[in-house]
Amino acid sequence: MKKVVLKSVEQDHRKLYMEWLLLADESEEIVKGYINDGEMFSVLYEGQAAGVILFTFHPGHMVEVKNMALAENFRGMGLGKMILQEAFEIYRAQGMQKMIVGTANSSIANLAFYQKVGFRMSEIKKDFFKKYPEPIYEYGIRALDMVMFEKSLQD
């Protein structure tokens, strides 16, 4: 089976991934607010750059998928699931108890994806996306609320 590789991105190289990060979070202003937090990895598939993932950390041994993006030509191949499976192993080995992730109420594909990889809905942050400089629409739905998911890493 083909495998993804997560390669750590140093702080001083993170801005080089801005284009990738904007695939998952449309506001450059918002991305700039967290780009230097936590741990960032470039995603390699068969030696090619396929995407990026950024994790932040919270009290209580909790890690958050803050941003995950794949280039268009790498979508629909199961890579997202492989990336998260790898991340589950990395953070389980570091003693993390739980992984969380949030996505917009309008991100229909993401809502399905996170549930397929074992996350459960845990919270809704009402009006989260109202602070974005420009309204975001997907599938004709305005992104207003952040739907939070969680997955135990101790399963």
Greatest distance between any 2 Cα atoms in the chain: 42
Percent of the chain, pLDDT > 70? Answer: 98
**Residue 1 confidence (pLDDT) above 70:** no
**Residue 2 confidence (pLDDT) above 80:** no
Phi, psi of 113, rounded to the nearest 5 degrees: -55, -50
Q: List, for residues 101-115, the tens digit of each pLDDT value.
A: 999 999 999 999 999
Q: List, for residues 127-137, the tens digit of each pLDDT value.
A: 999 999 999 99
| Contact assessment for residue 26 and residue 136, using Cβ atoms and an 8 Å cutoff | yes
For the chain, the straight-line distance linking the first and the last C-alpha, in angstroms and rounded, comes to: 24
For residue 124, give every residue at least 6 positions away whose Cβ sits within 8 Å of its Cβ, in sequence order, or none. Answer: 105, 145, 146, 147, 148
SS3 state of residue 144:
coil
Q: How confident is the model at residue 6 (pLDDT cuts 50, 70, 90)?
A: very high
Predicted pLDDT of residue 155: 66
Could you give the CA distance from residue 57 to residue 35 in angstroms, rounded to a whole number? 13
For residue 86, the enclosing domain spans 4-152
Q: How confident is the model at residue 97 (pLDDT cuts 50, 70, 90)?
A: very high
Q: List, for residues 15-61, the tens digit of each pLDDT value.
A: 999 999 999 998 999 999 999 999 999 999 998 999 999 999 999 99
| Contact assessment for residue 21 and residue 52, using Cβ atoms and an 8 Å cutoff | yes
The whole-model pTM stands at: 0.93
Q: What CATH number did the domain enclosing 107 receive?
A: 3.40.630.30
- Pick the closest to residue 147 from 90, 107, 94, 95 (CA basis): 107
| Contact assessment for residue 106 and residue 136, using Cβ atoms and an 8 Å cutoff | yes
- Pick the closest to residue 80 from 122, 51, 103 (CA basis): 51
Q: List, for residues 62-92, the tens digit of each pLDDT value.
A: 999 999 999 999 999 999 999 999 999 999 9
What's the domain count of the chain? 1
